[in-house]
Amino acid sequence: MDPESTLKALANDRRLLIMEWLRDPERHFPPQVDGDLVKDGVCGISIAQKLHVTQPTASQHLGILAAAGLIRGKRIKRWTFYKREKSAIKALKRLLANI
């Protein structure tokens, strides 16, 4: 994990919201037809709708978070579902605690 790119990824209100929502997806998103909210993650389209942005804008935010290692995407049918990468988040917390 590159701490600088990770912190830059989190330096955006919308990306912070995404990370918060993905912490408890059942609380923040309705059930999905494909993919389990907890096991598979949240569909990128649902994230875009909740953010009130276009799908390409949401994809850009999700791509930045994924590149930083904070989330990972999983393809199911034609859709990509996102969930938090817990090990990377724990590593970031340890790093910040030691500053």
Question: Which residue ranges form the domains of the chain, and what is each CATH number?
Answer: 3-97 (1.10.10.10)
- What integer is the mean pLDDT of 69-96? 93
DSSP string, 11-59: SSHHHHHHHHHHHSHHHHS---SSS-TTTT-EEHHHHHHHHTS-HHHHH
pLDDT tens track for 3-57: 788 889 999 999 999 999 999 999 999 999 999 999 999 999 999 999 999 999 9
pLDDT class for 97, splitting at 50, 70, 90? confident
The DSSP 8-state label assigned to residue 6 in this structure reads H
Q: What are phi and psi of 32, to 5 degrees?
A: -110, 155
Q: How many CB atoms lie within 10 A of CB 40?
A: 18
- Give me the pLDDT at residue 1, please: 67
